[in-house]
Structure 1
Amino acid sequence: MPNDLRIRRASELVLGTSGPEVLVSARAAAILLRYAQLDRYHLYHRGEDAETDETLVALKTAALIWREIATGTRSAARPELAPQLEWLSTKQAADALAMTDRAIRKAIRENRLQANTVGRAYRINREQLAHFKARKGTS
């Protein structure tokens, strides 16, 4: 799946001849499902509107495919520091992106990369690193 480095404008994402429809990238779907809690919404409102149900299923499918490609796992990462394999040190993240660990720490301080603090060290979730990589356009 090629990484489109060009950020599309909102007007380019609205389509449709029989009424407006919105195009959502798989990465954006993953962000929406995780942080807007659309999974929870779907759980409590399933069956109320067939079109909404199908849209949420499509978003979930796209998000799972993106997560699998970006992180190697289909499930969303848990917010707790559970399995150590989901979390990277700044050095591991830097190696994965061909950056310095200093640049990674700077991105964390500037809130461009989300990380958890464990003692005096940062732990970076693989999914967050994949989002950061996609925003930077790093190959």
Structure 2
Amino acid sequence: MNDPRPYEGAMQPNRFLHGDITIVPARIASLLVRHSNLQELRTRARGVDPEFAAVLIALQSAAMTWRASATGSPEAPEREAEQRSKWVGTTQAATILGITSRGVRLAIQEGRLPAQEVDGRWQVSREDIAHHKAGRTA
């Protein structure tokens, strides 16, 4: 396989293209699985196009692996009193991201960090924090 080409913009070939093969990073696979209906598509493709179904299964597997590494593995459950919530507030999100809570609220307002408002307070999922953090370092 040839060396990956460096990323030069969205419209140009990027570092993940290798001829007729495209490499999808696990974090991107996780975003695809989370924000699209790949499970239903995989179910419909089963038995129709084995290669397509295999690729969708690989995307799902990569997404699950990344999610477990980003949010904690479900294999070793913590005691109930110590379990981490799936959701955190802006202050805790800021600590995880290494920015100020104002920076977190600004990212939420600009749509760069998905969040839900609950009783007048923003709640951010740990998975979205991991995606945001990885996206900032990429």
Please state which band the TM-score falls in when normalised by the shorter chain. Answer: 0.7 to 0.9
Q: Report the residue type matching 2:87 in the other structure.
A: W
Aligned residue pair count: 122
Tell me how far 1:14 sits from its aligned partner.
2.3
Matches within 5 A, 1:78-97: 85-97=85-97
User: In structure 2, what is the Cα distance between the partners aligned to 1:98 and 1:22?
Assistant: 32
Tell me how far 1:113 sits from its aligned partner.
0.5
Q: In the alignment, what sits opposite 1:136? A: 136
* 1:35 partnered with 2:35: yes
Question: What is the TM-score of this pair, normalised by structure 1?
Answer: 0.79
Q: In the alignment, what sits opposite 1:105? A: 105
* 4+ aligned runs moved over 4 Å, structure 1: 6-10
Matches within 5 A, 1:57-72: 57-72=57-72
Q: In the alignment, what sits opposite 1:13? A: 16
Distance 1:130 1:8, change over 3 A: farther
Task: Please give the secondary structure, in 1, of the residue aligned with 2:124.
Answer: strand
Task: Please give the secondary structure, in 2, of the residue aligned with 1:85.
Answer: coil
Matches within 5 A, 1:39-50: 39-50=39-50
Question: What is the percent sequence identity of the aligned residues?
Answer: 36
Higher RCO (CA 8 Å, separation ≥ 6 residues): 1
Bigger Rg, which one = 2
Task: Please give the secondary structure, in 1, of the residue aligned with 2:85.
Answer: helix
Q: In the alignment, what sits opposite 1:120? A: 120
The Cα RMSD (Å) is 2.2
Question: What is the TM-score of this pair, normalised by structure 2?
Answer: 0.79
> Which is worse superposed, 83-92 or 52-61?
83-92
